[in-house]
Amino acid sequence: AQSVTQLDSQVPVFEEAPVELRCNYSSSVSVYLFWYVQYPNQGLQLLLKYLSGSTLVESINGFEAEFNKSQTSFHLRKPSVHISDTAEYFCAVSDDNTDKLIFGTGTRLQVFP
Amino acid sequence: DSGVTQTPKHLITATGQRVTLRCSPRSGDLSVYWYQQSLDQGLQFLIQYYNGEERAKGNILERFSAQQFPDLHSELNLSSLELGDSALYFCASSVQGGTQYFGPGTRLLVL
């Protein structure tokens, strides 16, 4: 069965500092990986995804994630965060056998001025 | 804006009652998914419909049911509501097997 682990429930960071949000997955088949962001009192927005091809994927707002099959990881990184990046970030996995998304427990990123 | 709409935005009801949540998928998307987000359970997949037929079931209680209509909108029916059913219910849609786009959610409060 698939599972997703987000080890850090909260990550506090100062503005303009780099950040890494960790995600590890468990699956016996080829996977698709996603990062979704949830701003306060809002729904889930797709941040970026890995379906196939290049293992490094980027979003339009400066985030990037690298698919590492050997370490079964899909960590999210940003070299310099902004106050507006404060949100909850969810890692999710699916595969060819099922379309459903399995989510991690989320990481709350808090950016301080 | 993801293109997925959900109504109502908020719902307050009492234990034992029944409610219906509605979802309209993005234009062209045939798959609709329902998820529940609660403080103790996190984000959990409930059920998926594809072009009117049930495709997959997750941790959905027997008191809950869903359907997808010919116009592809979907409804999630929650009955005999309990306090623990209070949660944020999300609908998502996708082209078959593709990236899922989420609606804004319906926040349900059971008193």
Q: pLDDT by residue (tens digit) across B21-74?
A: 999 999 999 999 999 999 888 999 999 999 999 999 998 999 999 999 999 999
CA distance B96 to B79: 29
Q: How many CA atoms lie within 13 A of B74 on its CB side?
A: 32
CA distance A101 to B7: 22
- Confidence label for A59 from pLDDT (cuts 50, 70 and 90): confident
Task: Let me know: does A104 contact A91? Beta carbons within 8 Å.
Answer: yes
Report which of A93, A80, A87 is spatially closest to residue A19, judged by C-alpha positions. A80
Please indicate whether residue B67 or residue B97 has the higher confidence score (pLDDT).
B67
**Shortest Cα distance from A109 to chain B (angstroms)?**
17
Q: How confident is the model at residue B27, as a pLDDT?
A: 94
The Cβ of residue B21 has, within 10 Å, a number of other Cβ atoms equal to 23
pLDDT at residue A57 tops 90: no
Q: Closest to B103 (Cβ–Cβ): which among A34, A43, A46?
A: A43
Q: How confident is the model at residue A65, as a pLDDT?
A: 95
Chain A residues bordering chain B (beta-carbon distance below 8 Å): 34, 36, 42-46, 49, 90, 96, 98-106
Q: What is the mean pLDDT of residues B5-21?
A: 97
